[in-house]
Structure 1
Amino acid sequence: MNRILPVIGITVSSSMYKGNNSSILNLAYSKAIVKAGGLPFLIPSVNREAACESLALCDGLLLPGGDDIDPSFFGEEPVTNLGKVNPQQDDYEIGVLNKALEQNKPVLGICRGMSILNVALGGTIIQHVGSELKNPIKHHQEAARSVPTHSIAVVENSLLHDMTGRKTNLRVNSFHHQAVKLIPSALRPVAFAPDGAIESIESVDPKQFILGVQWHPEELNDTPSQATLLEGFIRACRANKKRLQ
């Protein structure tokens, strides 16, 4: 059967649910991918090898939000305010990501997914923004997930700038207490919160679609700039699909 829609692999975490070890993913990710024109394909963390093999069925990869990243993956000890970590999940997602990059598949990292991108390519993470940023704003909102609560400044002539309608300022939602710190040479920062927190990173190679955003565009799908961001990701995945046909 000739597929029409690009297939988007989404990594899925494991967690206990009603006494069972279960695969857990917020439904908003799949709904947003469908709305943007893609077909979601969930990749459970059964094992790293099986997950990497699953990428052969996918035209792009989405790394979703989730728990904190174990600081051992970027050479640090845990700070007092570190949240729940799952090193097996970190290892699984880094492995899947590296396989996707080897195959030159478009990658979108959301919240924790952006941190995974940064760490996998050699960067580090602020373990708790309240401890490391001067005069931090509220990065973990109590408002509904669909409500933007703070502004970000977007770098012009960036992939993010193009994908959000060439806007230099956006309003985003925010559900994190970790943030990108040192950025590897393969990536560059392209959006900042008012307190200096890095809100988006992307590949320095314009031919390679790698984008990380700290907020949750899948929850802001009725916001034009966020809808076009997801649609732009799907377009890149569709182009990758055609390239390989």
Structure 2
Amino acid sequence: MSKPLIGVTTYLDAARWGVWELPAALLPAAYPRLVRSAGGLAALLPPDEPGAAATMVARLDGLVVAGGADVDPGRYGAERDPRTGPVAAERDVWELALIDAALAAGVPVLGICRGMQLLNVALGGTLLQHLDGHTGGPGVLVPHEVKPVPGTRYAELVPESVPVPSYHHQAVDALGGELVASAYAEDGTVEAVELPRDGGAWALGVQWHPEMGEDGRVMAGLVAAASGR
């Protein structure tokens, strides 16, 4: 049986290597490493024209929307909070188009951190623009417990409360469309969202960074769903 092809979205930023300093499509190596360890093949998806999203998704078995910059508040009809960081407009446009195309085509989707927030926004939800206590300071992840909601896809993958590596200052506020919350932090923050089992499409978002931890069950769930298409 061939391994499923999992597309992973990337950052678009300036980077330096050797004698070069140029705009670059970037992705922490932990993402493709996690895809490979779960049994998939990773393909990096740098920002492109939104009109290309459906063609791209048609070649994939699964989609991972990676972490990164804050989502533009204008995407969910909110005024910008002064604590909202710089946005990545190219990523917003491209990744929203990818999510829409994947859901329409029945391609499994996993949103990680920003990716979970963008999945919520794509389905009409909103975000809290600032939240304390979910980072350990600039560039430092903080562990905290996440409790699954029984009966959800996430709970099937991870049935017990577990510590997760967290790094975010925004979170889901109003849930979008048919999304349901499938895990919570101890302070009540929504830590996972998903489409219901009877909704057809396999879509799950987690607020933490599984690629930065040792628990591969969430990615394994995506790869299994991608393998079953």
TM-score range, shorter chain: over 0.9
Partner deviation per Cα, 1:105-140 (whole Å, 9 max, x = no partner): 11000000000000000000001013xxxxxxx201
Structure 2 counterpart of 1:161? 155
Structure 1, unmatched stretches of 5+, are 131-137, 241-245
SS at structure 2 position matched to 1:21:
strand
2:97 maps to 1:102:
no
Structure 2, unmatched stretches of 5+, are none
2:31 maps to 1:43:
no
Q: CA deviation at 1:44?
A: 1.1
Which residue, out of 72, 75, 78, partners 1:76?
78
2:225 maps to 1:227:
no
Partner deviation per Cα, 1:51-78 (whole Å, 9 max, x = no partner): 4322121101100100000000000111
Contact between 1:29 and 1:218, CA under 8 Å: does it hold in 2?
Answer: yes
Q: CA deviation at 1:46?
A: 2.8
Partners of 2:84 and 2:29 in 1: how far apart? Answer: 26
Which residue, out of 205, 211, 224, partners 1:218?
211
Identity rate of aligned residues, in percent?
A: 35
Structure 2 counterpart of 1:133? none
Q: TM-score, normalised by structure 2?
A: 0.92
Contact between 2:153 and 2:197, CA under 8 Å: does it hold in 1?
Answer: no
Q: CA deviation at 1:143?
A: 10
Partners of 1:227 and 1:184 in 2: how far apart? Answer: 26
2:190 maps to 1:192:
no
Contact between 2:157 and 2:217, CA under 8 Å: does it hold in 1?
Answer: yes
Count residues in correspondence.
224
Partners of 2:102 and 2:60 in 1: how far apart? Answer: 9
Q: TM-score, normalised by structure 1?
A: 0.86
SS at structure 2 position matched to 1:93:
helix
- Report 1:98-177 matches (<5 A): 98-130=100-132, 138-142=133-137, 149-164=143-158, 166-167=159-160, 169-177=161-169
Partners of 1:53 and 1:4 in 2: how far apart? Answer: 21
Structure 2 counterpart of 1:181? 173
Partners of 2:142 and 2:14 in 1: how far apart? Answer: 30
- Report 1:15-94 matches (<5 A): 15-18=13-16, 19-94=21-96
Partner deviation per Cα, 1:162-211 (whole Å, 9 max, x = no partner): 111x21x1111110001000002310011111111110001024432110
Contact between 2:62 and 2:226, CA under 8 Å: does it hold in 1?
Answer: yes
Contact between 1:111 and 1:215, CA under 8 Å: does it hold in 2?
Answer: yes
Contact between 1:141 and 1:173, CA under 8 Å: does it hold in 2?
Answer: no
Partners of 2:144 and 2:138 in 1: how far apart? Answer: 11
Partners of 2:54 and 2:219 in 1: how far apart? Answer: 23
Q: CA deviation at 1:50?
A: 2.9
SS at structure 2 position matched to 1:101:
helix
Q: CA deviation at 1:17?
A: 1.5
Contact between 1:148 and 1:171, CA under 8 Å: does it hold in 2?
Answer: no
Q: Assess, with a 3 A threshold, how the Cα gap between structure 1 residues 5 and 144 changes in structure 2: closer, same or farther.
A: same
Structure 1 counterpart of 2:5? 7
Q: CA deviation at 1:7?
A: 0.3
Structure 2 counterpart of 1:239? 228
Q: CA RMSD in A?
A: 1.8
Q: CA deviation at 1:142?
A: 4.7
